[in-house]
Amino acid sequence: MGLFSKIKGVFKKEDKSVQTYEKGLSKTRRSFVNKLSDLSKEYEEINDNYFEELEELLINADIGVNTVIKFMDKLQQRVIKEKITNPSELTEIIVDELFIIYVNDDILSSKINYNENGPTVILFVGVNGVGKTTTIAKLATKFKKEGKKVLLVAADTFRAGAKEQLITWGEKIGCKVVSDDTTTDPASVVYQGLDLAVKDKYDLVLIDTAGRLQNKVNLMKELEKINNVGKKIIPDAPHETFLVIDATTGQNGITQAKAFKEITNLTGIVLTKLDGTAKGGIVLAIKEEVDVPVRYIGLGEAADDLETFDIEKYIYGLFKDMM
Amino acid sequence: MFESLTEKLEGAINKIKGYGKITEDNISDAMRDVRLALLEADVNYKVVKEFTNKVKEKALGEEVKKSLKPGEMFLKILKDELLSLLGNDKAELDLSKNPSIIMLVGLQGSGKTTTIGKLGNLLRKKKARKPMFIAADVYRPAAIDQLKQLGKELNIEVYDEGQTNAVTIVQNGINHAKEKGYDVVLVDTAGRLHIDEKLMDELKSINDTVKPGEIILVIDAMIGQDAINVINGFNDALPLTGTILTKMDGDTKGGVALSAKHLTGVPIKFIGTSEKLDGLDEFNPERMVSRILGNGDIMSIIEKAESVIDEKEAMSTVKKLKQGKFDLEDFLVQLKQIKKLGPLENLLKLLPGARKMGLNNISIDPKQFSKIEAIIQSMTIKERKNPDVIKASRKQRIAKGSGSTVQDVNKLLNQFEQMQKMMKMMKNGNFKMPF
């Protein structure tokens, strides 16, 4: 049970990023944690009803159904083995076990895999309406603050107004945007973008792609083509491929991660819209079942409402009131 | 959408059929799988519990005990309970006012703007209305551009005042619509979180000012358990009259469809079924239940076909088929009509027993159609009417003209010849359908 107290120890109140987490996640946390602590208050001893309510709580947080069922089995076994009878003792174990599901012996690094011999290319993929374009603008802002020269590529040639959305963001945050009104072929825009990035020595290229539902075979093939064309200019591009997922997404998040991982070399997830009431628990299942870690989380609509994901802070954010 | 749910339900039905009698044990066993399938489909946890308990209770009731066919009784119980979740009646749009004001609201990225385009298209085509759009998303960069592009594509006027005050824009837009004689006004609003008080107040002011006859919440069908918070959040602030579920063409299990109406009383009015501007269908609870139970939805296929297929052309084709005079020119016309039906995968899924036949996972490359079309279009009219004249040099020319190979041309001609042979057999009456 050491982990729980360890997490607690990691944070000092002055840590600004923790405060941002707390603020963004406050709605999420309030409901989840209140219910969890209510649960331990309500029950004097651990019984079937307690487990049923706990299961409901976890499923309501959108933590995948299979993950929850496995988790509940494990928890019930621990309760029997360690002869735990008091629900309040169990709260710490729940947090520990959730942590273990996510970390699973991996060494998690949040650093961008930079290309040392030229521009680093990051491809953004995802289904429709998850917030790819906004995420790109936020990340570009972050990289610019770090002193990087950032180029944006508008390779969503499908949705009406998509190009314009990125261009408007580009003007707002002072980034050049490569777009092409004469073509509907996203690969061609990517080619032009990477070509310019090499010529003008950009540090980072962020590529915006059209939203696509993962079961649309042709659109998924288009991603392959984008990658192949990109490699003609920068052979090991893209250096990172981020799947953007909306925190309100339910079980479909797992299918999304699986399908996009099949087509692209997915290196991470950006979990957006976590400032609402959704808990984004599906990321735990995605990590467990598909093994793709979360890299960033979106906590608002402003250009700087983006944080590097840190599982310890995430769990801390969810459980703060209980500590 | 509901494939795995359908599979589990069919499994449960078969189990019960196999037992011949419903007992506490075997119903619990069957319902365990159903419960899991419902949870995996993101159906609200409480709804799942209620549904499984109710089905179990009814299945163990007196009526079923007396029945000689418990499997069929069980199926009927499932059907009734599903239908009561989805709402028994089809919810129609209220278009009685002039102009009728329809405001779309929802979270960011749920698909409001695209849906406005589709709804405008549907109201004009199927309800013979004169729609106008109002661009009241004054926050998201290029949202107004997006709506304008859709308006241009559909030739529907878009009223906008740039990124100014949403309430004033809507008010002025409606006056403009009255002057111009538009009878339906569709209002596109910015995406917002249901807990964002400032932005929710904006919607309340729009509602107070113009009193839309319809306020529709647009929901992404991929939403998880948070759905209930979102619907309640919007419904508490505004008098919602319906919901539209978008992105139902994904592989989402769309469980929100089963929870939304039941938990909030707000009916589902439409579902989004493709990215194209005609990808919006009226929601019909009975047909949806039929699909969930694996019985397909033939009515929707027929309606779809009727809406796009030109009756005259169809009759002349039938005539030609009967006379054995069907040529490549006619074939081209047919091909174009099929293309109008939209993605064929969507239609295949509506066939009864589609899942059992494996039709739910077929993907058809629309480029194949375009290729055939290109080949026929590269032929002269004379060649299309009489394909026999197409010899080596003509084949080369056609291949070149259509950007394909001589093999492709041969393949098409062979297939066409086969088809003609079959039609001759049909004409002579000695042809049996292969299935």
- Residue A151 is inside which H or E element, if any? strand A150-155
B271 and B344 inside one domain: no
Residue B261 lies in a domain: yes
Looking at residue A236, its pLDDT comes to: 92
* Nearest alpha-carbon partner for B157 in B175, B140, B142, B135: B135
* Nearest alpha-carbon partner for A43 in A6, A9, A14, A84: A84
Task: Determine the CATH number of domain A17-103.
Answer: 1.20.120.140
Q: Which CATH number fits domain A120-310: 1.10.3720.10, 3.40.50.720, 2.60.260.20, 3.40.50.300?
A: 3.40.50.300
The per-residue pLDDT for range A269-295, each reduced to its tens digit, is 999 998 888 878 888 889 888 999 999
Tell which of B295, B319, B343 closes a domain.
B295
Residue B65 lies in a domain: yes
Tell which of B58, B86, B114 closes a domain.
B86
Burial A202-222 (b: 16+ CB within 10 A, else e): bbbbbbbbbbbbbbbeebbeb
CB B10 within 8 A of CB B294: yes
Of A65, A129, A217, the CB nearest to B220: A129
pLDDT band at A173 (very low <50, low <70, confident <90, very high): very high
B250/A215 Cβ within 8 A: yes
3-class state of residue B416 by DSSP: helix
Tokens of B249: 């063409």
- Of the two residues B158 and A283, the one the predictor is more confident about is B158
pLDDT above 60 (res A323): no
Looking at residue A10, its pLDDT comes to: 47
B247 and B335 inside one domain: no
The per-residue pLDDT for range A222-279, each reduced to its tens digit, is 999 999 999 999 999 899 999 999 999 998 999 999 999 999 999 999 999 988 888 7
Residue B93 lies in a domain: no
B291 and B351 inside one domain: no
Sheet-wide strand order for B268-272: B158-159, B131-136, B184-189, B100-106, B214-220, B242-246, B268-272, B280-282
Contacts of A127 in chain B (CB under 8 A): 222, 247, 250
Q: Kindly identify which residue of chain A lies nearest to residue B39, measuring between CA atoms.
A: A65
Alpha-carbon span B204 to A37, nearest angstrom: 35
Residue B434, burial from CB neighbour count under 10 angstroms (0-12, 13-18, 19+): exposed
Q: Cα B254 from chain centroid?
A: 12
Nearest CA of chain A to the CA of B56: how many Å? 18
Alpha-carbon span B131 to A70, nearest angstrom: 52
CB B21 within 8 A of CB B46: no
Residue B434 lies in a domain: no
B262: Cα within 13 Å, side-chain hemisphere? 21
B108/A252 Cβ within 8 A: no
Q: At A96, which amino acid appears?
A: D
A279/B193 Cβ within 8 A: no
Residue B274 lies in a domain: yes
Structural domain count of chain B? 3
Tell which of B62, B86, B110 closes a domain.
B86
B266 and B125 inside one domain: yes
| CB-defined contacts A:B, below 8 A | 147
Of B142, B153, B250, the CB nearest to A164: B142
B343 and B399 inside one domain: yes
Instruction: Give residue B105's domain range.
Output: 100-295
* Nearest alpha-carbon partner for B259 in B28, B41, B92: B41
What CATH code is carried by the domain that includes residue B319? 1.10.260.30
Contacts of B116 in chain A (CB under 8 A): none
Residue B406 lies in a domain: yes
The per-residue pLDDT for range A29-51, each reduced to its tens digit, is 556 666 767 777 777 778 888 88
Distances (CA, A) of B34 to A60, A252, B22, B55: 18, 18, 16, 11
pTM surpassing 0.95? no
Alpha-carbon span B244 to B238, nearest angstrom: 16
- Of the two residues B367 and A205, the one the predictor is more confident about is A205
Q: Please check whether the two domains, A17-103 and A120-310, share a CATH topology.
A: no
* Nearest alpha-carbon partner for B206 in B134, B127, B287, B148: B134
B128 and B267 inside one domain: yes
B272 and B413 inside one domain: no
Residue B75 lies in a domain: yes
Q: Map B49-69 to HEC letters.
A: HHHHHHHHHHHCCHHHHHCCC
CB B291 within 8 A of CB B2: yes
Read off the pLDDT of each residue in B12-30 and give the average, rounded to a whole number.
82
CB B107 within 8 A of CB B193: yes
B40/A161 Cβ within 8 A: no
Cβ under 8 Å to A: B residues 400-419 = none
Looking at residue B125, its pLDDT comes to: 92
Q: Enumerate the domain spans of chain A.
A: 17-103, 120-310
What CATH code is carried by the domain that includes residue B11? 1.20.120.140
B274 and B415 inside one domain: no
B109/A130 Cβ within 8 A: yes
3-class state of residue A155 by DSSP: strand
Residue B126 lies in a domain: yes
pLDDT above 70 (res B85): yes
